[in-house]
Chain A
Amino acid sequence: MKPILNIAGLNAFIAGQQVIEDVSFSVPATGITALLGRNGVGKTSTIKAIIGLIGRTGTVELDGQRIEKEETHRIIRRGVGYVPEDREVFSKLTVAENLKLAERDAHPRRQLVEELFPDLVKRSGQLAGTLSGGQQQMVSLARALLNENKVLLIDEPTKGLAPKIVQEVADTLAQAAATVPILLVEQNLQVVRQLADGAVVLSGGRVAHTADSAADFLADEDLTRRLLGVHDDGAGAAAPAAGSGAGEPAPEVAR
């Protein structure tokens, strides 16, 4: 089967500084592909470069079409759902407005979103900035799931969330993955183990490793220690990646 996303020789720049170099990989048309690596290796930059939020060169093919010269809003309209790191909900807009803004199809899938996130229906009149981190993440995911997409790009959806919420997010992602392929940046290796099919590992702005099976990669102690700085033994209580989002305090209380 043809990959949904094919990236070749991608370079990206922030303020004139090159942040990723000659990155090439592809995302299969089904399942979840994990994009892994230590902090600061260019995972977020890769995602942003794919949709043109930062300057880039190289080629990006979405469903066989070259998109690397297009503007961000056009790429998104071709069928890309983007869930950014740190959620980036519009804090001064209500939940309902946040969702309304994200609707780009003629028939947005409001019902699906309402079923997935009943909590958001209750809070539709509330300002998104007053939601808890987990609720904001739901808004951010809902914005992407409202539309029919060819691929979802999801950047650290469990960052800074309490363990119970992490599991909720993971379940939602698993549900979504049944219908749409996902490129997922994730620091929580348990979540990766649970969800991901393939894996791409970055190191120093380059692709250091690609694996058809994320589980196989995570089982390789030598590789994971070298590329991620940790080894997840799969026994559940994995050591959090040093300095990764999992170690940060979880602001779970609604302000």
Chain B
Amino acid sequence: MTTTRTENAGLAAGSPAPSPRRLRGGKDSDGGRRKLLGIGGGLAAVVLLALLPLLNLSLPGILPGPTYTPGSLQLLAMCLLMAAAALSYHMLLGVAGLLSFGHALYFGAGVYGLAVILSNLQIPLLPAMGLTLLVVVILAHVVGSISLRVGGIPFAMVTLAFAQAGSVMVRRNPGGTTGGEEGLALDTANLPDFLVGVANTRNLYWLALAALVLVFAAVSWIQYSRAGHVAAAVRENELRVRVLGLQPYLAKLLVFVAGALMAGLVGMVYLLLQSGAVPRAVSSDFTITLLVMVVLGGVGSRWGAVAGGIFYTLLDQRLTALANSEAVAGLPDVLRIPLSEPLFILGTLFILVVLFLPGGITGGIRGAARRFARPRGGQPGRTATAATARQIPEEQA
């Protein structure tokens, strides 16, 4: 009979880290510095972005003209709005781990809700926006409380189905309210003058910037709130959250509705910027676009969502220009056909990122930075654990 008690005790005593407290302390202050740097960098970026309409900068190949021209500002504002929309989708996928295929429903509800209210009710912009958001919240509550009865992949299918119903409604043009396939032009009668007309594009640009900052702040707040932590814990291990007596359903619903509310808000600014609503804003294609942005940027990271939104919008615009260029038109079919379809290139890029760059743009940058900072940075134990964790069949999880 051989008792291994002694061996056990030896293991417990032989803790590998001699001064764990100091190590952890170092990490903490490092994290704090990084956080400060992040906030400082963010503020500087916002100030720079706010000044762009007053500057004369040219970015040939990216912007159609100098930064103060309406054409460039329109594109930049679209980038900011898509970044904000991607952030609202990050609430679902990044924070709560919910793969929704129906997020466009709430963006579209913002776009069409405000457009329909403005053209049918004689009320000023702000009350109209408030009313629209109310509609969005109610809609999100109803759909969210039903679809959150299932999780994982079934949740994806169910959200898709609801969004599809919304999309079909809009295209059907019930009672002539949505304009069907043609879409609905923005009724400017009750809008303040400074938001109307090409000359005021820079005001719309500032509005888009404000929307992005607001959404970013709200996402950060919710992500670090109690509900955000519960939602994140649910993403990792729902069972444990239940055992702790917390309510995963309510936390997920809250995150779902908050994400929808933000999407609705961004949708309203999108309507003002585009001065019209088109059915694509409610389509499942648009949800997929948001999904692509978030994944390209890096799932789970707020900056990733922002970067993905901006990168996608610019790339889409550039690829469309490329598709219509003479250089492409002259190519043989095998090259011309793929190159003249921006979505083919974006879809292929997306597949490659999912396969080979799981952290997206931000993950890639972080990995490169780490490699640069610590050329031999190796914690073999940790990487081994992460690698193994991946192989675990889901049934066991």
Direct contact of A and B (CB under 8 A): yes
- Interface positions of A (Cβ within 8 A of B): 13-16, 18, 22, 48, 53-57, 206-213, 216-217, 223
> How many Å from the CB of A211 to the closest CB on chain B?
5
Contact B4 A208 (CB under 8 A): yes
Which residues of A sit under 8 angstroms from B384, Cβ to Cβ? 57
Contact A208 B5 (CB under 8 A): yes
* B397 interface neighbour in A14, A56, A206, Cβ under 8 Å: A14
* A15 interface neighbour in B5, B8, B386, B397, Cβ under 8 Å: B397
Q: Known contacts A14-B397, A15-B397: does B392 contact A55 (CB below 8 Å)?
A: yes
Extra contacts, 19 of them, besides A55-B390, A57-B385 (Cβ < 8 A), are A13-B389, A14-B396, A15-B392, A15-B397, A16-B236, A16-B385, A16-B386, A22-B11, A53-B393, A55-B389, A56-B388, A57-B384, A206-B8, A207-B4, A209-B4, A209-B5, A210-B2, A210-B4, A211-B2
**Does more than half of chain A's interface fall in helix, strand or loop, or is it mixed?**
strand
What number of B residues sit within 8 Å (CB to CB) of A?
A: 20
| Complex CA–CA separation, A213 to B389 (angstroms) | 36
Contact B389 A15 (CB under 8 A): yes
B325 at the interface (CB under 8 A from A): no
Contact A15 B4 (CB under 8 A): no
Q: Could you write out 16 A-B pairs with CB less than 8 Å apart?
A: A14-B396, A15-B392, A15-B396, A16-B385, A18-B385, A22-B11, A53-B393, A53-B396, A54-B392, A55-B388, A55-B391, A56-B388, A57-B385, A210-B4, A213-B1, A217-B1
Contact A212 B1 (CB under 8 A): yes
| Complex CA–CA separation, A217 to B4 (angstroms) | 13
Which residues of A sit under 8 angstroms from B11, Cβ to Cβ? 22, 206
| Complex CA–CA separation, A54 to B8 (angstroms) | 24
> How many Å from the CB of A26 to the closest CB on chain B?
12
**Does more than half of chain B's interface fall in helix, strand or loop, or is it mixed?**
helix
Contact B8 A208 (CB under 8 A): yes
Q: Known contacts A22-B11, A57-B384, A208-B8: does B392 contact A13 (CB below 8 Å)?
A: yes
Which residues of A sit under 8 angstroms from B389, Cβ to Cβ? 13, 15-16, 55
| Complex CA–CA separation, A189 to B388 (angstroms) | 34
Contact indicator per residue, chain B 47-68, by CB within 8 Å of chain A (1) or not (0): 0000000000000000000000
B3 at the interface (CB under 8 A from A): yes
Q: Known contacts A15-B237, A15-B397: does B388 contact A57 (CB below 8 Å)?
A: yes
Which residues of A sit under 8 angstroms from B388, Cβ to Cβ? 13, 55-57
Which residues of A sit under 8 angstroms from B5, Cβ to Cβ? 208-209
Q: Which of A13, A57, A216, A223 has the most CB of B within 10 A?
A: A13
Q: Which residues of chain B from 360 to 397 have any CB-CB distance to chain A below 8 Å in the complex? A: 384-386, 388-393, 396-397
> How many Å from the CB of A72 to the closest CB on chain B?
9
Which residues of B sit under 8 angstroms from A22, Cβ to Cβ? 11
| Complex CA–CA separation, A37 to B236 (angstroms) | 28
Contact indicator per residue, chain B 3-25, by CB within 8 Å of chain A (1) or not (0): 11100100100000000000000
